[in-house]
Structure 1
Amino acid sequence: MSRSLSYIAFIAIAFIAIAFIAFSILDINYLAPKNYIMISVSAQFEQLRAKGQAALIPFLTAGDPDLDTTAKALSVLDQNGADLIELGIPYSDPLADGPVIQAAATRALNQGTTFARVMSMLHSVAPHLRSPVILFTYYNPILNMGIEKFLQSIYDAGARGLVVPDLPLEESEVLLQPAAEIGIEVILLIAPTSPPERMKAIAEKSQGFIYVVSTTGVTGMRDQMAKGAKEMIENLRTLTDKPIGVGFGISRPEHARQVIEWNADAAIVGSAIVKRLAHEGGLIEVAELCASLKRAIGHVG
């Protein structure tokens, strides 16, 4: 019996030691006691450009596996290389999302995650983050709540940016104008199928940065980056000096490095983060991935 107890005690001590080492290396602090001044998306890009740095933008689905974990994950990402953080509001019909993020949204909704609960969580966490938070949601929930009420709610909660993947360019002004007045920057997406004149119109209207969708289809992890993204970035550089972020398909450090070498200003990583967070030990895995992604993009120029 004494040997069994000694063995159990040894295992427990070893586990604690491993956890301590991991948390020390990866700078994980769930309490995030510091209060930061919440800056805009544009201001963050300006600061990074002044330092010669590219931006890392990880994505989370709020409420997966639960909102307490989401709050911790926001702090973990913020402390391990994230420059901005995209937070997805779970929606029952996520047309732009691939299977990993769709499954995360389903789990979150099944957990009882609501817009109000996400805003309450964000309100408590956002003041402790250095990274501006960008909300990702679909257009229908915004219309159902009312545009100005929605925008004011997310601003008060601490969000400073907004991505609406199914927002038609032709209707964007209805959202862009009140958002600018409240202090929310609406980031518009450019797809590989966008003709040059449409790319120019989107670049002119997009606030904060321009979100380049690297490949056709939905979000998700891929083995390599679509080379068409390089041409899109090159074309955009002739149209605008606004920051360019590339997403859809970035899952590895080498992918992130590739788009920065193609002259993008930011790498956006979603499914790879969400997949790791979905199981036990996910916070440490997310911290490791985030840190490795930031090391990969390093300095630019």
Structure 2
Amino acid sequence: MDRIASAFARARSENRAAFVAYLCAGDPDLETSVAACRAVIEAGTDVLELGVPFSDPLADGLTNQLAAQRALASGMTGVKVFELVRRIREFSQVPLVFYTYYNLIFANGVDAYVKAAKDAGVDGILTLDLPPEESGEVAAACAKHGVKTVFIVAPTTPEARMAIIGKAATGFIYYVSREGVTGVRSEVASNVPEAVAKIKAHTALPVVVGFGISKREHVKEIAAYADGVVVGSALVNCIKDNLMERAKIAPTLKARASDLVAGLGR
């Protein structure tokens, strides 16, 4: 069983949802990013999504856009993102999923990029702007090198298309619970239970829910019917709020992630 499947299986055996944490690789700099990743992993993260810094992150709200800007300004490159993955692999076997955009893969050669990701220690790739109908080359490279694919279902996705997405994914399905971009919200979307049920009718893979989840109460609500809960902006804000005293970033992140993880039980 691969690391992603093992993580979800372990969560199911413990009668809880999996905690999927998002951080932008290299935010605000490489060394602090390593410490930040360690902090959320030690807090109980089951799957770590690493945002690959990109100049045009069209699916991201302001919080994650600024995180990408900070990472790029600090000198993060594709090579350094792989270095970060290798550094994480020195202390953890938590599943790592790249949250990225197609241009970053295509510009480096699809097969070469996926192989490099696998060699570094990446378990899965979520390519935000790549629809499954056009994902053949990436899917083939991922299958060849043992990297899982993750695809998104949106609130506007027709049920007929969920079957296509379900067949294309090999790692898990990411349900974006709100239209628009990433960001903290005050309440969880109301239609999530029905949406998750529809998705599960078309796949045996785990279904995780993200976009807007920022409080333990949100996590608890989503954990009742989803296989995993994704939190991103609420964690990235812990970095933004401590830029002037970077030594505080890791402990602040660990405390915030620990509080969120406490809501996973069913």
Quickly name the TM-score band, shorter chain normalised: over 0.9
What CA distance in whole angstroms lies between the structure 2 residues aligned with 1:49 and 1:180? 26
CA RMSD of aligned residues (A): 1.4
Question: What does residue 109 of structure 2 align with?
Answer: 146
Deviation at 1:156, TM superposition (A): 1.0
Q: After the TM superposition, which parts of structure 1 deviate over 6 Å for at least 4 consecutive aligned residues?
A: none
Secondary structure in 2 matching 1:251: coil
2:86 to 123, 131, 135: 123
Secondary structure in 2 matching 1:272: helix
Gaps of 5+ in 1: 1-37
Question: In the alignment, residue 270 of structure 1 is paired with which amino acid?
Answer: G
Gaps of 5+ in 2: none
Q: Percent identity?
A: 36
In the superposition, relative to structure 1, how do residues 46 and 180 fare at CA in structure 2: closer, same or farther (>3 Å)?
A: farther
Question: What does residue 193 of structure 1 align with?
Answer: 156
Deviation at 1:39, TM superposition (A): 4.5
1:265 aligns with 2:227: yes
Question: What does residue 294 of structure 1 align with?
Answer: 261
1:283 to 244, 247, 250: 250
What CA distance in whole angstroms lies between the structure 2 residues aligned with 1:250 and 1:232? 16
Question: In the alignment, residue 143 of structure 2 is paired with which amino acid?
Answer: A
More off after superposition, 43-52 vs 153-162: 43-52
1:243 aligns with 2:206: yes
Q: Which has the larger radius of gyration?
A: 1
Question: In the alignment, residue 166 of structure 1 is paired with which amino acid?
Answer: D
What CA distance in whole angstroms lies between the structure 2 residues aligned with 1:102 and 1:124? 24
Secondary structure in 2 matching 1:162: strand
Secondary structure in 2 matching 1:60: strand
What CA distance in whole angstroms lies between the structure 2 residues aligned with 1:294 and 1:207? 25
What CA distance in whole angstroms lies between the structure 2 residues aligned with 1:188 and 1:259? 19
Say whether the 8 Å CA contact 2:36–2:249 is kept in structure 1: no
What CA distance in whole angstroms lies between the structure 2 residues aligned with 1:125 and 1:58? 14
Question: In the alignment, residue 171 of structure 2 is paired with which amino acid?
Answer: G
Secondary structure in 2 matching 1:128: coil
More off after superposition, 62-71 vs 171-180: 171-180
What CA distance in whole angstroms lies between the structure 2 residues aligned with 1:260 and 1:48? 11
Deviation at 1:124, TM superposition (A): 2.2
Deviation at 1:216, TM superposition (A): 0.3
Question: In the alignment, residue 210 of structure 2 is paired with which amino acid?
Answer: G
What CA distance in whole angstroms lies between the structure 1 residues aligned with 2:16 and 2:102? 32
Say whether the 8 Å CA contact 1:215–1:228 is kept in structure 2: no
More off after superposition, 123-132 vs 283-292: 123-132
Question: What does residue 37 of structure 2 align with?
Answer: 74
Say whether the 8 Å CA contact 2:3–2:94 is kept in structure 1: no
Question: What does residue 236 of structure 2 align with?
Answer: 274
1:63 to 11, 23, 26: 26
Say whether the 8 Å CA contact 2:16–2:223 is kept in structure 1: no
What CA distance in whole angstroms lies between the structure 1 residues aligned with 2:61 and 2:183? 5
Instruction: Report the TM-score when normalising by structure 2.
Output: 0.94
